[in-house]
Structure 1
Amino acid sequence: MATFTDFNLKLVVVEQLMYTDGTLTPVFRIAELLKERGLGDDPWTYAYDHDLAYKVVPEARAHFEALEISDELLASVRELVMDGGLRVYQECAPVWDGEDDLFDIESLDDLALLPNLRRISGSEFLGPELRSALAARGIVAD
């Protein structure tokens, strides 16, 4: 199984596989996890009550960090979409407005895990250095 070094890049991959393609299962829902653990069933309330507004809920981080993604699924990724409204972000940080750098990708070292990636939409969220790294790999960044 692949190991990601950039948590935020992993989240974008999870978005594609879990919430868009439906190939990475089971689908994670923070409300269900909180309810299962007896922590309530309203992620907003939980986040506010635990000073987690505009932060990644630790239970969600732990889930996604431990989540294993097979090489076969990673090879199926041809396109990624970067957008502040991604479902995976809502599941990680229920109280987040997309107006800060909470989910900024810092490194593209994990691109080697995605051998068939050809396009990243919404790449304006990446800095010029990261966009250049995409171009060097022949990945369309728009």
Structure 2
Amino acid sequence: MTAFRDFNFKLLVIEGLMYWDDTLKPAFSLRDHMRTLGVDDLDAYVEEKELEYTVLDEPRAYFEALEIPTEMLASVEALTFDGGLQVFQECAPVWDGEDDLFDIRSLDDLDLLPNLKLFDGGSELEFMLPGSLEILAARGIETR
């Protein structure tokens, strides 16, 4: 089992493979999952439970347990950090992007992506993790 050290870094990988490339299946839908639990109005549920600024337990459990095969990780050539990523909305459906909920806190998981060539969102990454641009550059990973 491939173990990620930074959950938020794993979410970036999942975004690319599940929602952009459509290679990691099935695509997780929080709304569909919650409907199976009897929750029809997800936004109201989140507000009622005061979960606006947190990753919901259901997607956290799903994504933490999600196995990503080594060969699929080797296919990742680019990662993107952007507040509007689908995976972030699946984790925190009313998240407004105005806090550090999805900040990357470690680049230790770069070792899992041997063919990574581009990190899009470098200025955001440097803000979250000072010194990260130098780490990426030392690995030959372009940023923009």
TM-score bracket, shorter-length normalisation: over 0.9
For residue 23 of structure 2, what is the aligned residue in structure 1?
23
Match of 2:134 in 1: 132
TM-score when normalising by structure 2:
0.94
Aligned with 2:135: secondary structure? Answer: helix
Distance 2:40 2:22 in 1: 24
The answer to whether the 8 A contact 1:55-1:95 is kept is no
Tell me the SS of whatever aligns to 1:120.
strand
Count of residue correspondences: 141
CA contact (8 A) 1:82 1:125 kept: yes
**Partners of 1:50 and 1:87 in 2: how far apart?**
22
Partner of 1:74: 73
CA distance in 2, matches of 1:41, 1:76: 37
Tell me the residue number matched to 2:9: 9
Counterpart position of 2:53? 54
Counterpart of 2:91 in structure 1 is 92
Give the ranges of 4+ consecutive aligned residues of structure 1 lying more than 6 Å apart after TM superposition.
none
Instruction: Tell me the amino acid that sits aligned with residue 5 of structure 1.
Output: R
Q: By how many angstroms is 1:45 displaced?
A: 1.5
Q: CA deviation at 1:37?
A: 2.0
3-state SS, counterpart of residue 119 of structure 2: strand
Per-residue CA deviation, residues 56-77 of structure 1 (Å, 9 max, x unaligned), is 1111111100111000110010
TM-score for the superposition, normalised by structure 1: 0.96
User: Are 2:125 and 1:123 aligned?
Assistant: no
Of residues 46-55 and 13-22 in structure 1, the stretch that sits farther from structure 2 once superposed is 46-55
Structure 2 gap segments, 5+ residues each: none
- Return the alpha-carbon distance in structure 2 between the equivalents of residues 19 and 101 of structure 1: 22
CA RMSD of superposed structures (Å): 0.9
SS in 1 for 2:131: helix
Cα separation, 1, equivalents of 2:44 and 2:138: 44
Q: Matched residues in 2 for 1:105 and 1:16: separation?
A: 16
CA distance in 2, matches of 1:46, 1:74: 34
Write out per-residue CA displacement over residues 98-128 of structure 1, whole angstroms, 9 at most, x where no aligned residue: 1111000000000000000000011111123
**How far off its partner does 1:79 sit?**
0.5
- For 1:32-47, list aligned pairs within 5 A: 32-38=32-38, 40-47=39-46
